[in-house]
Chain A
């Protein structure tokens, strides 16, 4: 749990502050006051780091002329002086990528990070993200620092789990949010002179939702659930005693989860499992809880079939699914998205999970889904989407660009991949023609051995015009989708708005 966010790669050594091990955010509420406690220490640390960085930079600035003479000895000596921070850097545990496997991201060094990010924003607001610039509006909240003090501790924990992808998947996020809201509501005290129905939504739930939003943009299902919850709250009779109202609310939430998720899952699962016939080769992309349930259910009924899982970096969600299915004794084949065209050849049916179904029948799901369904469609395979009606939305999407969620670019390269790139160092230094890169190269120790994987990100960050781009979702055109299975039954994608209207009782 001493891992620090991998995002911590500033061009200047400022980021390489002394290691600081903070208790990671835990799932219970005790960390609520952590930010307040932390902040002064953090600030001090940051100042120290900045000082160090300045020193190092001054040294580096004096260095360049030497280096340019081309004497490699100079080059080696010089960075050693300025290596102070990077040594500390090494003493620090290797930063890992925030991953589902690392459920909690410690709240270390957030201020720096945010500062850096903001700086970047200022520098090149238009350049970042190709045509995804509009999605880079706010930096992702990855710590407790800066959270409003109204935010309930459980929500803080949840937010961090969101931003670290520990809780991932639109249904899981929604359920987790509702469960947390239950505690939030239970802990809620209506201030005197206010009615619960009026006050709770705007003044108490509002900040919680804002915080969650800042950790990761709300999923469609979360949006739907929040809308529903607000609707329920506002309908509470003001004369109801507070305790009773709270009890009613938590019951309502339980019912909602049971009806819209648990029961819906079961209905979908039972229906979808009948679509799997003996000898089928079921292909799925990434991971979806409902697809997993369907496959397991079909397997439990004794139908012999095999599964192909197509996965994609960087989240590798399919790996977990493959593991689970394989543990149940299902024959699983595992491909990465580059091999998708081969995977599709052997498949007979495609089951996809959804993040959301758009009103124009398009499927908004994990990025790569569109490719898989396109290939499957080309092979005339039935493409079946499993989706609870709570994920239906009245929104429409024509492309994957207008509405999407950008993921931090540094997540593109995993630790292992960065390590593979390390041997490039010598060449990078020798061949870098742009002076900018050269300067930075000096900051990194030229001797190969201690090269840090962080350097790789530094090179990429320094390389002008080189950007890494990552989004989380894409939109699958409706014509690739043959069937959507919901708890209301199976329907063509064109019926999505009807079901949406049905399910929201509008």
Chain B
């Protein structure tokens, strides 16, 4: 069975690396992107089992990226976790409406993130 792959989009290099560490320690592979546009351009090629998107991305933000994933036939079924520092209910609601499966608030718990990843990756495709 091939290793599951997680796409991560975050413009903060350190956070991107932190995600990489958390994900690889959990036994998964990563495909890391510094912005929404490149993540979207290559998502179909990467074919991830899960996407972790920062909300506050340059250009296309996490909400727009979620909407774009859900509108793409190749990407629409990929579970999406959005990480955001915004506490407003409206943000969370708009993300849910757009199809985000889970919203994790910053500062996020690496343990809880790993638990969420496992939860989604354990689901039958």
Tell me, yes or no, whether A binds B. Answer: no
